[in-house]
Structure 1
Amino acid sequence: MNKPLFCSIRTMINEFNIQNFRGIQAFHVTDLGQVNLLLGYNNCGKSSVLDALFLFSGATNPRLSISVNWPRHYMSSLADEMLKLNFYGLNPVFPIRLSGGYGSPEKTRELTISYQERESEIMNLPTDSSGNAATKDFRLNLDAEIDHQVYHSDLQIKGNSTSKAEVNAPGAESYQEELKCHYISSSDPYSNNVALFSDLLRNKQEEALFEDLREIEPSLRDIVVANNNLMVDVGLEKRIPIQVLGDGIRKLISLFIYLFQARDGILLVDEIDNGLHYKSMPILWKSVLRGADKYNVQVFATTHNIDSLKALNQMLQDETFQSMQARSRVFTLRKTSDCLAAVKSTYPQFRHLINEEIEIR
């Protein structure tokens, strides 16, 4: 496995492999950086790679195998279908395998997720002659080998109703997860903003955020929490809800506060520039590059926006962020049959492609 050449993140993921996850039969990527941008056509698998990284980072937590689907409303009311959603082709014959190396000195982990169903020990009693008494139990088994130590956990649904699930993690409960990971989904990028912003205020980290926001809204003075909402002072008689300023401001707030929450860990961002005007994208990337460096965060983000790529190129050429050039990677994802290939561009390659207007997405 490749050894990291830079970055003091103790848990930075260096390489990552996927087998039999959603529409991805096989995927392999090496030489990951501190800031990793995933490109590719719609439905090529960018978001699935982020979801797989999220499961990989919480390898002993079986709840994630179901909850990772909720932000996209990717679910089913039937237990067997719910538990099969993440398997390649919805067919659990072949288990999901997620593996990779992280940290320096490098550690390895491999997560295997398998599906099991069996006749239930509890029988439903039919109320009439046409009733069916047969009942099945459905289970996801998670077997994680982390730095040569094995942990088992499982999630079980009894009967074909998804209203309740039992979690069993006897060995995993004693394990302290090293890969601290946060995820900003594309469908709900503003969830938990109020609570996380309060934490930012307690730690006196808000001024750098305000500086960035003033580049979009020069009249912004401050932001406070009131009545479980973010209220902004823009010089009016009263503070106004942050929603009034639009999605661009809210998106930048989300990115900043999640970078702070993910310090010394990993941040996943789906559709990082969604909702932003192209003139705001340099501010976006300034916040990401500065936050990743300051808070020691490894970032994985998806996009297919050319203005966003140009803005990233622009900010990496800025003297302030030139040290991030060697720590940044752009991966173009290409689907070949049911396998997913990652074409890597280091910063010099990325800069050449953007400057020469060569299609990279």
Structure 2
Amino acid sequence: MDGFKNIEIKNFRGIDHLKIDDFSRVNILLGQNSSGKSSVLECLLLMMGMSNPDLPQTINSIRSRNYSSFADLGYMFHNYNLNVKPETSSVLFDDTKRHLSLELTYVFDEKSQPDLQNGQIPTSETKTFLNTLKMLFDVEAGQHKSTHECSLTVNQQGLISNKKLAEGYLEKNSVAFLSSDLAAGNPANDLVELAKRRLKDTVIEQLRHFDSRITTLEILNNVAYVGLEGINQLLAVNMQGDGLRRYLNIVAASANPMNNILLIDEIENGLHYSAYKKLWEAIFALATTTNKQVFVTTHSKETLSHLNEMLEEHPEYQQGMRLYTLAKTPIKGHQAYKYTFEGLSGACENDVELRGLV
């Protein structure tokens, strides 16, 4: 299985320092509001997209559910302190080590300074704003260590004037990120890949757990349609309500073998509690079949209860589950408290609160 053994985060958003060890196949992140659950998912995404300088702004746009400007990248810096770089480190299951840092700086760019002529050297007065995001990263495999840099530069109107990619680096992993925004996400790419591999029936089988009337699933003009018993035409999934759309997005991304890592933020959004158990079963089964790693955040106690029920019925998945409660403590700062299946089962049996420290 490709993926993360651990991750260490420094000075990213609201996290001053956090280390999480012993990741497994399916990892669930709990915690109170602003405990850093979504930030951990974002760091995992950045670690697998280190060579993509567009990614930080894309992540901000997902979080804001709207357009995100270049200036908003400052929100990725802890306490908006642009002098302290956000840093993320991890060890992968193949023992490769990764380290990434972000830097907002000024870089003179002739494309963004057309008024400077005849080789004029920019003065301090020219440096009016931070115009460049740099992603500085290194990869260490055994005795070999490579260092890379990619960057994005904008002009004073916020438009991209220069983009530099990391030369000589090719990312082998593919990550799918499903945000908490129910209006976002389109399963079309996953479904097309599954159709090419003749795996679409796998998704249809899982969808029938959600609605037993579903008979077929098609992609037309980049839109997902389902066929229902008793209805003589296909129906657009987007018109069937949040629940089916959310369920399909998760199942399709889980089934797609091209996704090495799957990140799901607030898995319960849009779903009735009656769907939780079957969805958990689908995630574990498909993650095992496709040999992928999954990270999930949730606020729902019912979600955990149904996860526990599913794991009791499927002991083959129990060792592949890790659960972490994230909390910012007064003395030690951000901490991650780990639970295995036994801890989850005991908490459910004794009605112990795992979603956050009170």
The TM-score by the shorter chain falls in which range? Answer: 0.7 to 0.9
CA deviation after TM superposition for structure 1 residue 109, in Å:
1.0
Quote the offset at 1:86 in angstroms.
0.9
Partner of 1:146: 139
Q: Give the CA deviation at 1:190.
A: 5.0
Tell me, yes or no, if structure 1 residue 257 matches structure 2 residue 252.
yes
1:304 aligns with 2:293: no
For residues 102-121 of structure 1, what are the structure 2 equivalents within 5 Å?
102-104=92-94, 106-117=95-106
Q: 8 Å contact 1:62–1:153 — kept in the other structure?
A: no
Give the TM-score normalised by structure 2. 0.87
Deviates more, 1:39-48 or 1:236-245: 236-245
Q: 1:66 aligns with which of 57, 61, 68?
A: 57
Counterpart position of 1:6: none
What letter matches 2:58 in structure 1? Answer: S
Amino acid across the alignment from 1:353? A
SS at match of 2:72: helix
Choose the corresponding residue for 1:294, options 286, 289, 293: 289
| Structure 2 residue aligned with 1:355 | 349
Over the aligned positions, Cα root-mean-square deviation in angstroms equals 2.3
Partner of 1:208: 202
TM-score (norm 1): 0.87
Is the CA contact 2:182–2:269 (under 8 Å) kept in the aligned structure 1? no
Encode CA deviations 1:101-129: one digit per residue, 9 max, x unaligned. Answer: 0023x11111121221256653659xxxx
Give matches, 1:90-109, under 5 Å. 90-104=80-94, 106-109=95-98
TM alignment of 1:73-88, pairs within 5 A: 73=64, 79=70, 81-88=71-78
Q: 1:210, 1:222 within 8 Å by CA — same for their partners in 2?
A: yes
Q: What SS does structure 1 have at the residue aligned with 2:193?
A: helix
Instruction: Check conservation: 1:17, 1:99, Cα contact below 8 A.
Output: yes
* Structure 2: distance between partners of 1:117 and 1:159: 11
Return closer, same or farther for 1:298/1:85 CA change in 2, 3 Å cut-off.
Answer: same
1:197-227 deviations in Å (ceiling 9; x for gaps): 1222221212222222222322111111234
Contact 1:119 1:136 (C-alpha < 8 Å) held by counterparts: no
Where structure 1 has 5 or more consecutive residues not aligned to the other structure, the ranges are 1-8, 126-131
8 Å contact kept, 2:177–2:264 = yes
Structure 1 position 250, deviation (Å) = 1.4
Residue 194 (structure 1) aligns with = 188
* 1:326 partner SS: helix
Alpha-carbon distance in 2 for matches of 1:203, 1:300: 25
Structure 1 residues 353 and 176, CA, compared in 2 at 3 Å: closer, same or farther?
A: same
**What secondary structure, in the 3-state scheme, does the structure 2 residue paired with 1:174 have?**
coil
Q: Secondary structure at the match of 2:79?
A: helix
SS at match of 2:32: coil
What's the secondary structure of 2:82's corresponding residue? coil
What is the CA distance between 1:346 and its match in structure 2? 0.7
C-alpha separation between the residues in 2 aligned to 1:120 and 1:212? 52
> Shift in Å at residue 165 of structure 1?
4.6
Aligned length: 340
Shift of 1:278: 0.5
Helix, strand or coil: the match of 1:299?
strand
